[in-house]
Structures are given as structure tokens and as C-alpha cells.
Structure 1
Amino acid sequence: MTDPNREQSVVDSVPHQLLIDGSWRPAGSGATTVVEDPATEKALCEVADAGRDDGLAALAAADRAQPAFAAMAPRERSDILRRAYEAVLARVEDLALLMTLEMGKPLAEARGEVTYAAEFLRWFSEEAVRVDGGFAVSPDGRNRFLVMRQAVGVSVFVTPWNFPLAMGTRKIAPAIAAGCAMVVKPAPQTPLSMLALAQILQEVGLPDGVLNVVTTTDAADVVEPVLRDGRARKLSFTGSTAVGRLLLEQASSKVLRTSMELGGNAAFLVFDDADVDRAVEGAMQAKMRNMGEACTAANRFLVQRGIADEFSRRLADRMGALTVGRGTEDGVQVGPMIDGKGRDKIVDLVGDAVAHGAEVVLGGERADGPGYFYRPTVLTGVPAHSRLNSEEIFGPVAPITVFDDEAQALADANATDFGLVDYVFTQDLDRALRVSERLEAGMVGLNTGLVSNPAAPFGGIKQSGLGREGGTVGIDEFLETKYVAIATA
């Protein structure tokens, strides 16, 4: 268990104001908002609560910084990112504790996220110096083609609460590598991790105005004017599909480049020939990472009939052995949900499934005491028409449905408007490749429950989003392609 004095010290070490043009300042109105510990429902601190004018001031600062930053030598931008990578790793313990306090995940998971977040800084420090173009002779030999890639310009980022540091670096790092100034609006539940990251980037030499952070409880009042202003050229959002649709509409008025990492409804397919040990381990990764509060979380477990009973029993045994509690306590593996609204949604979804005939094998209830806790839950016999099969759970609930053959498994897996990630467990190579090709998802975890990696392209299809983050293509979202036609004698 962590010392309360240390907890307060870590919270106090982070700025609680807006970062605009290199200066920390209060909201123009003087308004503040409370940051809550979801494990205790108690206030951690107050941060500035920005309004419309603050957002536009941040945009103006980014617009002023944009020309000089785009002209900065790629190696200089690379070095900034490398120093930031080293600084984040040097502060793993403090950053992890800060994240656990404001978001709830156990310290072990928070440490893992800090390391994961740092890897985006390292990866894109290496990509910054590899932005290239091309030169070619026209087919008729009369002209030359010069192709160059340049920074797209001022970028607006709206980041989520579930991975408050990693989702920040996944957007900020490629923007810095490409030479784009930014306005960042973090989730109101978890602003402290982003403020800590901004503080680090200041310390390692990021020029004033390149990164501007605006914390607010009124995203509509702050973000929409920024998108409709005309000075921003790029929007990147991670969050729900419903909010993503709204932002796409707003971005369309100025035809902004957009990247959207939206909701998921991941299917977890287990075939009869699967290695059960591996499948259960993969299920624990895919379901219980971040207490199930992840867009990549397995949302629907589709298990072939011959192995369904064994898989269900063993998964329930593993989930039932997990320790629920405040993430700062020793041995805790499952923290609270982010807030009461998130927990209430889980209660409603499980209640709907049970009302339609699902059987509760494990859990199915809130935990006692303060905090937004929900016990790990396994349901079997979940009917196809239950809300659990169509809505993102975002919690520690594993609904299991049985299938008989591959065709049914594919039909059930693809029967969703979403397409972020699916998981497949089988030892049949032909089936593995065949099913991976036919699944309608941007990513597939084959015999693994973990797909996220800074060196790989992350993103979905259908209503799970647009564009890709990470990998060699991640920087492309922040670059425009310019073609110069050269006449030759």
C-alpha cells in the first residue's frame, strides 16, 4: 500500500493549470473542476476548467508555433522525443502512481502503461529522421516528378481516460516527429497524466506553443470552435463511436484530415482444436487488461461446442481468483470502474443478458463499499439478441456463446457494426489464416490476447474508425504529400 503523503506529493508535483504558449495559466473564467479517485470517490485535486476562449487561445499559440516547428531539423525533433522517452522511464513510479490515483488501474498495470507510452516516444524519435519523398522520370521522358512530404499542420487531439498516458504519446509523438504543433484536450476524468507528460516535454526542450493542453469538462464548448476556426488542419480522436461521428461532422466544415480510433466489439473465437491453456491465458489478457476498460477488450466469447464447458469453467476459475480493490494496495489485480456511469452501464448490460436467459457462472454484481467496483463476471448461454453482444461492455464481464462450425463462428463474429480487433485461437494453420482473412476487423490476435504494439499499425474498419496509429504508417497521418512537376528541355 502506498503512503498517503507520497500520493499527495505526486498529485501536487503536476501542474493543475492550462498549458498555452509555453505558460501554465488558469482558465480565463477562473473555473476549476475536481479530479476524483474512483476507488474512494474522494477528490484528489482541482484542475483548470477551460472554456471557448481558452481553446481558441491554445489554437492561436499552436498556429504561431507551426511554421518554425515544421522547419526544425528532423534530427532536432528526434532528439526531443528521445529525451522525453528517457525522462518518462526515469519517472515510471511517480507516473504510474499518478495514473492509478486518477484512473484506478492497479499499479502493476499502470507501470506497464508508462513503459508502453514511452515506447511511442522512442519509436517516433526513430521515424522522425526517416520521412522521405521521391523522384521519377515521367513515362514520356519529358518531365520529372518530385514528391515531398510535409507536416500537415496544427493538429487537435482528443484523448480518452482509459489509457491516459499512452493514448497521449501515441498521438503526440508522431505529431512531433512530423513537425506539427498541437492542441490537446484530455479526458476530464484523467487530466493529470497528460499534464505530467506536457511538463516533461517542456523540460526536454519542446518549443513553446508546440504543445498546448486544455483541460475542460465542456468539450463541446472548447473543441467545436477550434475545429470550425480554420487554423487547425488535423483532428485525431480516441473514444466512442457516437462522439466520433459528431466530431467528424464538425471537422467536415473545414475538411480537416481525421484519424478516428472508435469503439469496439471484439469477438474472441476459440475452436475445438485450440490449446486450452493458451486460450484461457489469452482470454485473461484480452478481457482483463485495464479491468476490461479497453476498446480492444474481448467483448464476445464465441467458443466451439466441444470445448465450451472446459473453457468456461477454467476462465471462471481464473477470473474468480483475481483480487479486487484499490489499485495502490498490494496484490490488487482489478481496480474500480472509472465512474458511477460506467459501472451502471455494466449493471444494466448484465441484467439484460440474465433477463434473456444467460446464466451467471461468476460474479454478476457490484462490490461492496466506496468506489466504483464491479466483480469479475462470467456468463454462459448469452443469447445473440442480448445487448452484451451489440454494445461495448467496458468492464470485467466475459459473455460466452457456443458455436458449432467455422461458418457460424465467422457469421457471428462479423455480425456487428464495429471492426477494431478480433481474436482467434486454433492450432490448425489453414484455419488460422482463413479465419484471419475473413474476419472483418482491422487487427487480429492469432493465439494471443494482446495486439497493441507501438511498432505495429493500430486501427479498425467499419464504425471502429479511420486511419492507423503506430508502426511505420503512423507518421503518415501527420504528413501531406506534395508533387512538383519539373519541365526538362
Structure 2
Amino acid sequence: MSMDPQISAHLSFDPTDIPGRLFIGGQWRQGRGGSDIDVIDPSSGSIIGQVADASVDDAMDAVAAAHDALSGWAATAPRKRSEILRRCFELMIERKQMLAELISLENGKALGDAQGEVAYAAEFFRWFSEEAVRLNGDLSVAPSGANRILVQHQPIGVAVLVTPWNFPAAMATRKIAPALAAGCTCVLKPATETPLTAYALAEIYREAGVPDGVVNVITTSKAGAAVSAMLHDPRVRKLSFTGSTEVGRRLLREAADTVISCSMELGGNAPFIVFDDADLGAALDGAMVAKMRNGGEACTAANRFYVQEGIAEAFSAGLAERMKALKVGPGYDAATQCGPLINQDAVSRIDTWIDEAVEGGARVLAGGETDVGKGYFLSPTVLTSVPAGARLMREEIFGPVAPIAVFKTEDEAIALANNTEYGLIAYVFTQDLARGLRVSEKVESGMVGLNRGLASDPAAPFGGTKQSGLGREGAHHGILEFCETKYIAVSW
């Protein structure tokens, strides 16, 4: 397949060189699922590649390969596993530009965001290379004095990893790195919208020394059937999923049949709270990061802006000015600051929600346009006076839209923030430290950015409360998600 010259001019590599076949047992192979899956460039709507379509039988082959490799990998010395993970980190950094261009090409995100994602994604390998040799247990004396209590952390087994399209590198490495550090093997099923990054990374794992079968990658248009089959295979003992709460609920029901351990990083509806005493410039800086990282297509994106009445007008005007100034264009163009959405359905959905909010009394201060270029584009948008019942305030937007509402009191802000089934992350801006910590404790979320628009860090526990998920990724917590805790009663 030949590449559009206008696209190729922005790239330092040929995307058609990326293997588009299934990676099972260390081998590249065609899928048995029928025709290949097209990969679309959201910036132009054109086909940029194809990948194999796995059947249920292919998925079972991947599970078998992971199971066959499990005992050898689990018995590998922690230092050896650590060195392989460290090499994965080094190779990703060496190929940072190529990987960033590939992410921008198939995902649409601005190149600067893609470069940031590669650095973030690689850091999981460095972090968990260090955690691999620090998976310590415990030894204590039973209170009765009758025996010793010995506690070990053992690899849980074969893990199925299901990742979304919005961070095609980071969502994979955030799961693969701790799984491998713990001694587990895995089957990765990336989203079909952005599969090329997963296959490019598979080559890196092999070059870094990951043994055949330890990491397997399959793409399929029959995700429900393939994942269901894997979850009902007794060799599979772990599911780690990142995606919507709706799909997460279905997978939890599937996993219940075989009582599989589940880690779930689900949807969000992040409140961004600005108090009157906040530093206006810092709050606006934080808002742009929290809202526009990845063009708003992030579960951690600020979704609802609650601004205290004394600063509301200045904050709204300042945010609108900054959003208007963003350059919209193809993600792989170095000048682009806001790329396209992932597909036309996303554009249509958000455009409908904007219209509904305006009909309900909201006022557009910036953006709201969908005809800003060829491809799946929506201009960065700011709305004020958005009613509480608007879907922009109740649902995860996943796009470059900032709806603003005004509040009066601290208690009101907390009540508004907590009025959702989600609880992934919240953002709070105030120069009163006592207030900031007080509100942070009362907001129902797994993470809080206090005077910060970015909270994600491989060294910190990432995850949510309520219907935003189960378990934590990153930090030492991340490796424990792939372990079984064994207690041995010992007498000597």
C-alpha cells in the first residue's frame, strides 16, 4: 500500500514497514478471522495500513503461547527480568521520534502530545524494571508465638490485557511492564483504531530479549467473542482493562464465571474546581493541560469546570482566549497543537451535545465548529452558563470542549464535583493550602491534582473510585495487581 505523499512528507519512517500481522509465540502470522482490518488516519480519513483480523482460535493460540512460556518466565531471576525491561525502556527512548510520529498518524494527536506519551510509556518499563527486584514479602511471628508467618508474592499467571485507542503506547506499557516484572505472561488486545503502535512495540520487546510467548499481541474485529473466550479459558487468571465503564461492566460479568482477578481503569468525569483565591494564570495553565492534553481524549481530561463567582468571568475569558489561539491540524504536522478526534462518530456526538447545551441556555465563547479541516476535526470550544443537566456535564466528553458553570460556596463545589457515578480524578485550584487539602479529601476520586493540571506518573498509583474502576496501576501497587499473595505457616 502506497502512502499519501502529503502524509509521508511529515514522517521519518515508512508506516508500511510496521508488521501488520498477529504476534503469537514470538512469530508473526496471518489471522484466521477473514479480511484484514483497515487503519484510518483521523487527520484525513484515508487508509494508512491494514492489520490481521484474529479469530477466536487465534486468541486461544495466544493464550496457549502465553501459558507455555509462563513457567520459564516466572522462574527467570528478577534481575534478568529487570534488565530486559530496562532495555525495553532504552529502545523506546532511542526510537522516540518514530513512535511519536506513528502515534500521531494513527491516533491523530498532536506530535508534541505523542512525544510526551512515548516518554511516559517508556518510563513504565524503567519504573517496573526497578520494582522487579523489590517484590519483597514479609516474615513475622504469629501473635500466639506458635509459628512464623511467611508471606510471598507470586506471579498470578497468564494475563489478558485490553487497551483503548487514546494512548496506544502508554496504556499497553502500563500493563505489560508490571505483568512482566511480576513474572506473568500476557496477551495484549489493542484497539483496532490504533493497532500499529502495539505491533511496533512488539518488535522492541523481542529485540530487548523478551522470550517468545511472554508477550503476544492480537487485533480482532470480533473483540467481544475473542476476549470472552480467553476469559473462560482456565489458563487465564488476570484481566486488566482500560476503557469505558459500560464495557468494563460487561467484562466484569464475563470474568465472574471463572473468578478472574480484574483490574479496571474505566471512565471519568473529572471536575476542575477554581476558587476565587486561585492564581488566575496558574489555573489557566492547569486548565489547558488538564483539558487539552491529547486533545481532550483522555479519561483524566478535565470534563466539568466549576469556577467560583468572583473569578468566573476572568477565568472564562482567559480560557476562551487560549483555546482560540490553538492551531488545529493534522497530528503529525509539527505546528499542530490540537489534532482531530478519533472518528466521525466522536465529532457528531460532541457536536450534538454542544447544540443541546446551547438550547438549554449555554453560551459559546470559543469554537464549536466542525468544518475546520479535512478529517475528523472539532475546534477547541468553551461554553459558559452550562446547565447542570446538560450531557456535557454528565457524560465523559472525550474531546476539546470545556463547559463552565459557576458556584458560590466551598460546600456547593464539593457537592457538584461528587454528583456523578464516576470518581477517577479531580482538579482543585486555590492558594489556601488548608482549603485545597480539605476539598481534596472530600472529593470522591482516586486522584486529585491540587494546583496541577497533570497528575499521571508511573511512580504514583493511578486509578479511580466508584464506577471509574478497580485496582491501581503504576507505583508499587501496579506490580501487586499481577501477584497472588501466598501465606506459609512455618515452625522451626
> Does the pair score TM above 0.5?
yes
Partners in 1 of 2:199 and 2:216 — Cα distance? Answer: 10
SS at the partner of 2:64?
A: helix
User: Structure 2: how far apart are the matches of 1:449 and 1:252?
Assistant: 37
Q: What letter matches 2:235 in structure 1?
A: R
Deviation at 1:330?
A: 3.4
Deviation digits for residues 395-449 of structure 1, max 9, x if unmatched?
0000000000001000000000000000000001110111000000000000010
Question: Which residue in 1 is equivalent to 2:300?
Answer: 296
**Is 1:438 the counterpart of 2:442 in the alignment?**
yes
In structure 1, distance between residues paired with 2:386 and 2:33: 50
Question: What is the Cα deviation at residue 369 of structure 1?
Answer: 3.6
In structure 2, how many angstroms separate the alpha carbons of the residues matched to 1:435 and 1:35?
44
**2:153 maps to which of 145, 149, 153:** 149
Alignment of 1:69-88 (within 5 A): 69-88=73-92
Aligned mate of 2:239, from 213, 218, 235: 235
Separation of aligned partners in 2, 1:330 and 1:469: 31
Which aligned pairs between 1:312-323 and structure 2 lie closer than 5 A?
312-323=316-327
1:93 matched to 2:97: yes
Contact 1:2 1:328 in 2 (8 A): no
Distance 2:252 2:471 in 1: 13
1:29/1:385 CA distance change after superposition, 3 Å: closer
> Which residue is 2:333 aligned to?
329
Letter in 2 for 1:300: R
Q: Which residue of 1 is the match for residue 60 of structure 2?
A: 56
Moved more, 406-415 or 323-332: 323-332
Aligned partners of 2:349 and 2:453: how far apart in 1? 24
Match of 1:426 in 2: 430
User: Which position in structure 1 is the counterpart of 2:420?
Assistant: 416
Give the equivalent residue in structure 2 for 1:308: 312
- Deviation per CA, 1:280-316: give whole Å up to 9, x if none: 0000000000000000000000000000000000000
Which whole-Å CA distance do the structure 2 matches of 1:118 and 1:350 have between them?
36
Kept after mapping to 1: 8 A contact 2:461/2:473: yes
1:251 paired to 2:277: no
Structure 1 contact 31–50 (Cα < 8 Å) conserved: no
CA distances 1:314-342 after superposition (whole Å, capped 9, x unpaired)? 00000000000001223110000000111
Counterpart in 1 of 2:389? 385
Report deviation, 1:12.
Answer: 2.1
1:243 maps to a residue whose letter is: V
| Counterpart AA for 1:135 | L
Q: Select the residue among 348, 351, 360 that pairs with 1:347.
A: 351
2:488 to 480, 484, 488: 484
Q: Is the CA contact 2:269–2:395 (under 8 Å) kept in the aligned structure 1?
A: yes
Structure 2 equivalent of residue 23 of structure 1? 27
CA distance in 2, matches of 1:73, 1:294: 36
Q: What is aligned with 1:215? A: 219
Contact in 2 for aligned 1:458/1:468 (Cα 8 Å)? yes
Q: Secondary structure at the match of 1:330?
A: coil
Q: Contact 2:12–2:98 at 8 Å: present in 1 too? A: no
Deviates more, 1:101-110 or 1:394-403: 101-110
User: What is the Cα deviation at residue 7 of structure 1?
Assistant: 3.9
Match of 1:396 among 387, 396, 400: 400
Residue 186 of structure 2 corresponds to: 182
CA contact (8 A) 1:62 1:210 kept: yes
Q: Distance in 2 between matches of 1:428 and 1:157?
A: 42
Matches of 1:195 and 1:402 in 2, distance apart? Answer: 46
Aligned-partner Cα distance in 1 for 2:19–2:462: 31
Determine helix, strand or coil for the equivalent of 2:490.
Answer: strand
Counterpart contact for 2:13–2:98, Cα < 8 Å: no
How far apart are residue 3 of structure 1 and its match? 6.4
Q: Distance in 2 between matches of 1:13 and 1:204?
A: 19
Which runs of 5 or more residues in structure 1 are unaligned? none
How far is 1:95 from its partner?
0.5
Once residues 204 and 338 of structure 2 are traced to their aligned partners in structure 1, the CA distance between those partners, rounded to angstroms, is 29
Alignment of 1:349-388 (within 5 A): 349-388=353-392
Partner amino acid for 1:332?
T
Q: Secondary structure at the match of 1:131?
A: coil
Measure, in 1, the Cα distance between the counterparts of 2:14 and 2:99. Answer: 8
After TM superposition, list the pairs within 5 Å mapping 1:189-204 onto structure 2.
189-204=193-208
Find the aligned partners of 1:159 and 1:19 in 2 and give their Cα distance: 16
- Is the counterpart of residue 287 in structure 1 residue 271 in structure 2? no
Q: CA deviation at 1:13?
A: 2.5
Give 1:134 shift: 1.3
- Amino acid in the other structure paired with 1:256: I
Q: CA deviation at 1:6?
A: 7.0
Deviation at 1:2, TM superposition (A): 7.8
Distance 2:364 2:385 in 1: 9
CA contact (8 A) 2:372 2:379 kept: no
Which residue number corresponds to residue 44 of structure 2?
Answer: 40
Secondary structure in 1 matching 2:132: helix
1:130 corresponds, among 126, 130, 134, to 134
Partner of 2:271: 267
Distance 2:331 2:469 in 1: 31
CA distance in 2, matches of 1:404, 1:149: 49
| 1:196-238 alpha-carbon deviations (Å, 9 max, x no partner) | 1111001111010010101112211211100011110000000
CA distance in 2, matches of 1:140, 1:254: 36
Q: How many residues align?
A: 488
Separation of aligned partners in 2, 1:139 and 1:294: 48
Identity %: 57
With over 3 angstroms needed to count, the CA separation of the structure-2 counterparts of 1:330 and 1:139, relative to structure 1, is closer
Cα distance, 1:351 vs structure 2? 1.2
- Given that residues 10 and 333 in structure 2 are in contact (C-alpha distance below 8 angstroms), is that contact kept between their aligned partners in structure 1? no
Displacement of 1:15 after TM fit?
0.9
Q: What is the TM-score of this pair, normalised by structure 2? A: 0.97
SS of 2:481's equivalent in the other structure is helix
Q: Note the C-alpha offset of 1:195.
A: 0.6
Instruction: Look up the match of 1:457.
Output: 461
For the 8 Å contact 2:243–2:267, the answer to whether it is kept is yes
Question: Which of these residues, 61, 66, 81, is aligned with residue 70 of structure 2?
Answer: 66
Taking structure 1 as reference, are residues 5 and 356 closer, same or farther at Cα in structure 2, changes over 3 Å only?
closer
Distance (whole Å) between structure 1 residues aligned to residue 151 and residue 331 of structure 2: 51
Structure 2 unaligned residues grouped into runs of 5+: none
Q: Per-residue deviation at 1:30?
A: 4.5
**1:468 partnered with 2:460:** no
Q: Describe the SS at the equivalent of 2:73.
A: helix
